[in-house]
Amino acid sequence: VRLGGPEPSDSYLSVEAVVRAARDVGAEAVHPGYGFLAQSAELAERLEEEGIAFIGPPARVQRLVGDKLGARRFFRSAGVPVVPGTLEPVDPRDAPSVAEELGYPVMVKPAAGGGGIGMSIAWSEADLLEALRRAEDLARKAFGRGEVYLEKYLPKARHVEVQVLGDGRGGVLHLYERECSVQRRFQKVVEEAPSPALDEELRERLLTLALKAARACNYVNAGTFEFLYDPPSRELYLLEVNSRIQVEHPVTEMVTGIDIVREQILIAAGEGVSFRQEEVELRGHAMEARVYAEDPAAGFAPSPGRITAYREPSGPFTRVDSGYYEGAEVPIYYDPLIMKIVCWGSTREEARRRLIAALEETVIEGVKTNLAFLHLILNDPAFASGDYNTRIVEERGLAERAASYSHRRLKLPRRRVEKKPAAPGVDAWRVASRMGL
């Protein structure tokens, strides 16, 4: 079913286009994926009006957690610690005094949206006003709202998140945590589970806080409660709630054996979840690398174009989620995510080595990719040791080094991959929007 033109605003960002398509094919339910309208309260409401199930949290939850500042106020009042910062939009005239009170560096963040869009670090008053101007401009263009707020920036923090399922009957369960500290432009590129940063006391504290937050808002369906962990103080702060399935959900599936999308469907159908909390166990370790058509040496600029050669990695304990093939076009309209490679191991080191081998086996030609960048990350001593933070890319100069680095240790034979039709919804379900990551 054709939704509309190639521009997202004419298709995957159009609530009415999605509702019309669902109605035309007689759909009983709609899964919104992890981009575009995945966190749209309006879509959830419109589908409900049409008698079509929305496979995700209801509009009530979407509105609460989608309002970043409102969510900060709500969860703080519920006794869940949030990152120190403002609880209302900040006026540029007041920003210097607010930042001084918080203490530099500070993070300037849009009050709406997500995916790292518009976020900027101000290290001193000298660059605060420019950071505010840039954040307001990007937020207005991306989300239609220019309001921003300030948070204390924690330069040594680690990004850890908890996968939660609300069963629709008042109960919430966790599927343990993921570590997502390897980021570029405030967007994740390598994720793993479980987190190497947490001891048992910290893990228990993290899971308890996530469930407390989920119960406070009567959470329903799949969601991710994202936290910043500050190693010097051992404090945990709720960062935000993503009311959808995450791009990185496969790492959780591989260490728990639970199909999260299946559980989403069961919950939306009113059947609850298929397991009890005590049945959820961590088994081994999993890592995911996001392979993008982008140029790390050019500020991670997208590299749209035609893929002239394509080879996916294979082998045991390796999962590839992709919607591309040889001859496919990486479009200019959407996020340039080509594939996600996920590897499991009985130990973290085994998972890391398997993922390195999988990257070395991957062939993508015709567009620039971040394969070398990913290989550098996985081989970096800080990452290999598990002792890293959200600034590992900047501190280790990984983007700059990727320009002259080859991830291919062996000359692999070129193997033509049989062409296959694109996966359904390649532009939205498999390829996440910059608006929703």
CA torsion sign, 164 to 165 to 166 to 172? Answer: negative
Give the containing element (helix H, strand E) for 147. none
User: Measured between alpha carbons, how far is 295 from 55 in angstroms, rounded to an integer?
Assistant: 35
**Smallest Cα–Cα separation from 202: which of 239, 159, 236?**
236
Per-residue exposure over 283-301, b if at least 16 CB sit within 10 Å of its own CB, e if not: ebbbbbbbbbbbbbbeebe
Give the containing element (helix H, strand E) for 238. strand 235-242
User: Measured between alpha carbons, how far is 35 from 201 in angstroms, rounded to an integer?
Assistant: 34
244 catalytic per annotation: yes
Residue 76 CB contacts under 8 Å (≥ 6 apart), including other chains: 82, 87
Per-position DSSP letters for 184-224, written without gaps between them: ETTEEEEEEES-TT--HHHHHHHHHHHHHHHHHTT--EEEE
User: Measured between alpha carbons, how far is 238 from 284 in angstroms, rounded to an integer?
Assistant: 26
Give the containing element (helix H, strand E) for 279. none
Where in 335-430 does DSSP place strands (E)?
A: 337-345, 363-365
User: Measured between alpha carbons, how far is 57 from 95 in angstroms, rounded to an integer?
Assistant: 35
Active site residue: 46, 158, 244, 354, which one?
Answer: 244
Return the active site residues.
Answer: 244
